[in-house]
Amino acid sequence: MKREIIQLFIEWKNRNNRKPLIVRGARQVGKTYTINEFANSQFLNSVNVNLEESPELKNIFKSTNPKSIVQELSILTNTDIKPGETLLFIDEIQACPEAIVSLRYFYEQIPELHIIAAGSLLDHTLSEIKLSMPVGRVEFCYMYPMNFREFLWAITENKLVDYLDNYTFGIPFSEAIHKKLLDIMRYYFFIGGMPEAVKVFVDSQKLIEVERVHSSILTSLQYDFAKYGSRSQQRHLSKVLDYVAQNTGKKIKYVNIDKEIRSINLKEAFYKLEMSRVVNLVKHTASSGVPLTTHINNDIFKAFFLDIGLANHICKIQLIDPLTILTINEGALAEQFANQELLVTGTSFIEPQLYYWIRDEKNANAEVDFLFQHNNFVYPVEVKAGKTGTLKSMHVFLFEKKIKTGIRLNTDIPTIGEFTTRVRSGASNSEITFHLLSLPLYMINQLPRLLNIYKS
């Protein structure tokens, strides 16, 4: 299945100043499959070393001589490893910290050899590694479940992708195409973007098979908990996992998860799940411009699940007909989808981080779903499950932060316009004029391109 990140791999391959590339991402988001596809299309041959499946190979990487490592791997795999022609792929590298360290020596002594490493729990290893990290000698990229654009490719709706790629404001948008895209997006809401789930749907067209895949993936994630500590810590992880799936996009209050578990233990569970990239924490920032991290509050955050399809499976939603499924949390579904799409709108070599804005005051509450940074501008983003909905919180944010443009994501056709409204903020009641970019949810991946055209 086609993945956008392959273009980044190709650019990395052709750069003269490249370094060994480490691909970071949650379990089963398609890292191994995609890297192998890239290897098969771009190299004469490749050597795939899986350090979990072949633990006997770990000792090879204890050497500080990369030429010796290459020689041994070449003999053991009966394959020539030639710089410029061969891709050396070290999979599940988190199982061998020495292999991570060895990347430094590959970069320094055999820089012409293409090396990619990947691992599912890699962030844990990188944070705990006691050996000398190859700082400055490696580069990273980040991989997530298939986004909606990749889902359209998978179901061979290439014409729809082309239609969206060529749209600009001012061109009439087809209502028939809009309806078709909304229907497909509805399928994505419940199938999600985990590659195995998408593939089994494409191959079988049976939603019951998708449910089996979801169940299998969630079981494997639960098995990973055994690597995180004691049984009580594992129970905390399971408790938080279920809570996030069922309370997507809500401000986290530890007391709402379990009154019997100490908040410090729940905080640690969130940290471990974030490190595993199973949940994404969107933190509050009071900043009105870049960098958004200037006024971040790490204690105020909301959480989203790795994948919308997996989250709905945890919520026990059976996949009978996605077009007729009506949940009690439609707004949360839209926000979870927006979170996944916004995460991957940037470049894959920069770790993405989303933020939101909240004001929690008596008689003056306000919350903007996301703050989107593009070209050093910050845009407030409101997510709506339908075509309508008030934008009072966005108006307050625009007024208080003196920002001129907001973004609305909903289920209507794309529009752009200038509006004037009155805003109550504190004791004042003022009038503001602002620009509003309104996009259907399925066009989130087009947001950077359209903002570049709009330039405001």
Q: How confident is the model at residue 348 (pLDDT cuts 50, 70, 90)?
A: confident
Share above pLDDT 70 across residues of the chain, in percent, rounded to a whole number: 95
**pLDDT of res. 394:** 95
Collapse the DSSP code of 305 into the 3-class scheme (helix H, G, I; strand E, B; otherwise coil) and give the result. Answer: strand
Question: Residue 346's CB: how many other CB atoms inside 10 A?
Answer: 16
Q: What is the pLDDT of residues 185-230, one digit of tens each?
A: 999 999 999 999 999 999 999 999 999 999 999 999 888 877 776 7
> Which of these, 43, 17, 24, 9, lies nearest to 107 by C-alpha position?
17
Per mean pLDDT, which range of 33-37, 67-71, 197-201, 231-235 is the poorest? 231-235
Q: What is the pLDDT of residues 149-177, one digit of tens each?
A: 999 999 999 999 999 999 999 899 999 99
Per domain, the residue ranges of the chain are 5-143, 150-454
Spatial contact of 1 and 199, defined as CB atoms under 8 Å apart: yes
Per mean pLDDT, which range of 123-132, 337-346, 398-407 is the poorest? 123-132
Q: How confident is the model at residue 125 (pLDDT cuts 50, 70, 90)?
A: low
Residue with structure tokens 């004037």? 420
Per mean pLDDT, which range of 77-86, 240-249, 327-336 is the poorest? 327-336
Judged against a pLDDT cut of 80, whether residue 360 lies above it is answered with: no
Judged against a pLDDT cut of 60, whether residue 456 lies above it is answered with: no
143 has which bridge partners?
25
What is the 8-class DSSP label of residue 250? Answer: P
Judged against a pLDDT cut of 90, whether residue 291 lies above it is answered with: no
Judged against a pLDDT cut of 70, whether residue 95 lies above it is answered with: yes
Per mean pLDDT, which range of 189-203, 240-254, 288-302, 316-330 is the poorest? 316-330
Judged against a pLDDT cut of 80, whether residue 426 lies above it is answered with: no
What is the 8-class DSSP label of residue 274? Answer: H
**pLDDT of res. 362:** 67
Summarize the confidence of residues 427-444 as an average pLDDT: 92
Q: How confident is the model at residue 363 (pLDDT cuts 50, 70, 90)?
A: low
Summarize the confidence of residues 35-59 as an average pLDDT: 96
C-alpha 196/C-alpha 202 separation (Å) is 10
Q: How confident is the model at residue 430 (pLDDT cuts 50, 70, 90)?
A: confident
Q: How confident is the model at residue 231 (pLDDT cuts 50, 70, 90)?
A: confident
CA angle 12, 372, 437 (to 5 degrees): 115
**pLDDT of res. 39:** 97
Alpha-carbon separation of residue 160 from 147, 163, 383, 412 (angstroms): 14, 5, 23, 17
Summarize the confidence of residues 387-414 as an average pLDDT: 93
Spatial contact of 313 and 362, defined as CB atoms under 8 Å apart: no
Per mean pLDDT, which range of 8-12, 273-277, 423-427 is the poorest? 423-427
Q: How confident is the model at residue 293 (pLDDT cuts 50, 70, 90)?
A: confident
Summarize the confidence of residues 138-155 as an average pLDDT: 97
Count CA atoms closer than 13 A to 188's CA, side-chain side: 27
Q: How confident is the model at residue 329 (pLDDT cuts 50, 70, 90)?
A: confident
**pLDDT of res. 295:** 83
Q: What is the CATH number of domain 5-143?
A: 3.40.50.300
**pLDDT of res. 247:** 93
Share above pLDDT 90 across residues of the chain, in percent, rounded to a whole number: 75
Per mean pLDDT, which range of 223-237, 292-306, 438-452 is the poorest? 223-237
Collapse the DSSP code of 108 into the 3-class scheme (helix H, G, I; strand E, B; otherwise coil) and give the result. Answer: helix
Quote helix, strand, coil % in the chain, to nearest 5: 45, 20, 35
**pLDDT of res. 398:** 94
Collapse the DSSP code of 21 into the 3-class scheme (helix H, G, I; strand E, B; otherwise coil) and give the result. Answer: strand
**pLDDT of res. 133:** 66
Q: How confident is the model at residue 361 (pLDDT cuts 50, 70, 90)?
A: confident
Q: Rounded to the nearest 10 degrees, how much is the dihedral formed by the CA atoms of 243, 31, 136, 96?
A: 80
Judged against a pLDDT cut of 80, whether residue 47 lies above it is answered with: yes
Mean pLDDT of the chain: 91
Helices 31-42 and 5-14, interaxial angle, to 10°?
50
Q: How confident is the model at residue 288 (pLDDT cuts 50, 70, 90)?
A: confident
**pLDDT of res. 127:** 64
Helices (H) and strands (E) in the chain, counts: 17, 13
5 CB-near residues (< 8 Å, 6+ apart): 34, 141, 143, 348
